[in-house]
Structure 1
Amino acid sequence: MPELTPLALYLAAASVLAITPGPGIFYVAARTLAGGRREGIASSFGTGLGGMIHVLAASLGVSAIVLESSELFSALKLFGAVYLVWLGFRTFQAARLKGATGGDDGAAVGPVGPRRAFREGVLVEALNPKTAVFFLAFIPQFVNPSAGLVALQFVVLGSVSIALNTLADIVVAVVASGIQDGAAARPGLIRRLREASGGAMIALGVGLALAKHPAA
């Protein structure tokens, strides 16, 4: 298993990376502002599960196969990009529609429920090939081959990273929920925050679509 000092360095690095804004954080924020704390926390666990899919795939060598194939990488990248842009556009459009109608009713702009928020969170993370690139580039630096059980070390370290990411997402959900509650009398502010979250997801989706193959 990883030694104490490298593990401490890993925890420090993983903690910094966990609070770095990415698709998961923006989705959790948008979902919380639209559907409340329950949906935000559900989406946080969804992104966590999506991340674990990458961890397990990387430990089994599946991610390496995907990244070695420019066709597979491009396919996953485009699926993820389209999904992010669609979620971002839906979030932005819903915020504008709510601002135009001035109400909280209507399925198009209201909560989607924790289950759907969870499923969408899984897809947001699982369809992001940059997550696979990250795990394959970052975690092996802290694996100790001489200790044996390399795959198990990878899964343990990856699980720690996912736990930190999920914790950061939950904090975002709680903070966004507090903002939502505090700004209940200022619907314009909530609308602008939702629009910003939607715009950020669209931008991240476009950035993902333009991402180059790691070997390029």
Structure 2
Amino acid sequence: MQWHQVLAFVAAVTPLTLLPGTSFTLVTQQVIAGSRADGVRAALGSVCGLLVHATFAAVGLSALVMSSAQALTVVKVAGGVYLVWLGVTTWRSTHRGAEPATRRRRPRLPWSRLGGFGQGLFSNVLNPKAASVYLTLVPQFLTTDHAIAPQIAVLSLAHIAVALVWLLFWSSVVAAARTVIDTPRFRRGMSRVAGAVLIGLGIRTATAR
């Protein structure tokens, strides 16, 4: 795998990582309810959850390519179509009215009584959005010229680095501010960036030779 492929993956996954989601919300909640250390533990648990998804993807995609090299092409095309659809729906969601944060009620999760690390781990392992990164985005950067598992390992380490840097930075910001900066404008802006990236990746896959 070439460095330019890794950098391209980092450029693609970064806006998706910055998009407020489960890990972002959990780290924010942990810092506000406890301390920055609690947020750090939640961040570490979240990136360990990414390792679980990467392992499953490495085993599944490696077996798929071993059975048929053309199968990876099918996975890429299907993933590209899905990425376009996901990008369009993500972009369209920015035009919907956002419910005020003070009125939102978050369901109590089964692992809510665990420590920050355990909450971060289980919330990400059971997060379908995190799984979709390895089922739709990662295959776009794989080649059949080399073993699949090492390529996924490199991409997952890059993803983990981006996620960990962002979550640690965010935990410091929240600890310093002690207020929730997750405003509707911020969410809309990040959703639009993520939607544009997803659509671009889907089109790239559809037009690639």
Interval containing the TM-score (normalised by the shorter chain): 0.5 to 0.7
Q: Structure 1 residue 156 and structure 2 residue 151: aligned?
A: no
Q: Is the 8 Å Cα contact of residues 55 and 159 (structure 1) preserved in structure 2? A: no
CA RMSD of aligned residues (A): 2.8
Equivalent position of 2:72 in the other structure: none
Which whole-Å CA distance do the structure 2 matches of 1:6 and 1:30 have between them?
Answer: 35
Matches for 1:118-197 after TM superposition, within 5 Å = 118-146=117-145, 148-180=146-178, 190=179, 193=180
* Paired residues for 1:1-216 under 5 Å: 2-61=1-60, 85-87=107-109, 116-146=115-145, 148-180=146-178, 190=179, 193=180
Paired AA for residue 8 in structure 1: L
Task: Check conservation: 1:45, 1:118, Cα contact below 8 A.
Answer: yes
The aligned residue for residue 85 of structure 2 is: none
1:18/1:164 contact within 8 Å kept: yes
1:87 Cα shift?
Answer: 4.3
Indicate the SS of the match to 2:115.
helix
SS of the residue 1:145 aligns to: coil
Deviation at 1:21, TM superposition (A): 1.1
**Separation in 2, partners of 1:129, 1:59:** 17
Instruction: Tell me how far 1:61 sits from its aligned partner.
Output: 1.4
CA distance in structure 1 between the partners assigned to 2:35 and 2:173 by the alignment: 11
C-alpha contact 2:6 2:158 (8 A) present in aligned 1: no
- Structure 2: which 5+ runs fail to align? 65-105, 188-209
Query: How far off its partner does 1:158 sit?
Result: 1.4
Rounded Cα–Cα distance in structure 2 between residues aligned with 1:85 and 1:50: 21
TM-score by length of 2: 0.60
| Deviations, residues 36-69 of structure 1 (Å, cap 9, x unaligned) | 100001100010101111111111119x99xxxx
> Secondary structure at the residue paired with 1:144?
coil
Offset at residue 139 of structure 1 (A)? 0.6
